[in-house]
């Protein structure tokens, strides 16, 4: 049995190290990324007012995951469409997303912020105000656009004590 040539082993290791890409680091998003996130969030707000479900869903990755409060995870674009189909049918959302922090990590852009506004029943009834926080991870697509990949939100309102009405 032949022993491996030490020089060949060193050359192979050096080539492998040279080909390895450095791990991406998290840092502030670029101006272009911040503008892209702001544009997507403005579209989300507009779609809530108009009920433009198809436009809203077009900004979601196929493998999007929605983490809404007190609900199981909603996995996949079709499942998220069904959730928002019922929401858009029931209420008009007049909201505004405000990014507070936008970071970048490789092909991910991370946005943390607030979303506040009102929900007005389409069938009539009182308008309800809301004040939420969100964390969204956008994934850069091959064409350079950003699509919602992971979305989590919940309310800023304090919890209601058991046995008490909200």
Q: Phi/psi at 15 (nearest 5 deg)?
A: -65, -40
pLDDT at 164: 72
pLDDT at residue number 60: 98
160 within a domain of the structure (yes/no): no
Domain that holds residue 87: 24-152
In a domain, 161, yes or no: no
Provide the CATH number for the domain around residue 122. 3.10.450.50
Strand order of the β-sheet with 60-67 is 27-28, 91-105, 108-121, 128-140, 146-155, 60-67, 74-75
- Which among 151, 157, 147, 88 has a CA at the least distance from the CA of 116? 157
Q: Is residue 95 part of a domain?
A: yes
In a domain, 84, yes or no: yes
Regarding pTM above 0.75, the answer is yes
Q: Which of 21-25, 71-75, 99-103, 123-127 has the lowest mean pLDDT?
A: 21-25
In a domain, 128, yes or no: yes
Domain count, the chain: 1
In a domain, 11, yes or no: no
pLDDT of residue 161: 81
CA proximity to 51, closest of 89, 4, 21:
89
Give alpha helix (H) positions in 4-162. Answer: 6-19, 31-50, 53-57, 77-90
- Residue-wise pLDDT for 42-95, tens only, equals 999 999 999 999 999 999 999 999 999 999 999 999 999 999 999 999 999 999
Q: Is residue 163 part of a domain?
A: no
156: helix, strand or coil: coil
Q: What is the pLDDT of residue 75?
A: 98
pLDDT score, position 162: 84
């Amino acid at each position: 049995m032949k022993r491996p040539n030490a020089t060949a082993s060193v050359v192979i290791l050096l080539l492998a190290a040279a080909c390895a890409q450095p791990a991406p680091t998290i840092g502030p998003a670029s101006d272009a990324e911040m503008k892209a996130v702001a544009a997507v969030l403005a579209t989300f707000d507009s779609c809530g007012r108009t009920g433009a479900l198809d436009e809203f869903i077009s900004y979601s990755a196929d493998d999007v995951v929605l983490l809404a409060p007190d609900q199981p995870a909603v996995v996949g674009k079709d499942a998220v469409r069904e959730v928002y189909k019922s929401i858009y049918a029931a209420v008009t959302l007049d909201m505004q997303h405000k990014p507070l922090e936008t970071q970048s990590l490789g092909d991910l852009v991370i946005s943390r912020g607030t979303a506040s506004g009102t929900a007005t029943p389409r069938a009539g009834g009182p308008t309800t105000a809301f004040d939420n926080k969100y964390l969204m991870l956008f994934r850069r697509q091959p064409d350079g656009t950003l699509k919602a990949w992971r979305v989590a939100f919940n309310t800023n309102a304090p919890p209601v004590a058991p046995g008490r009405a909200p």
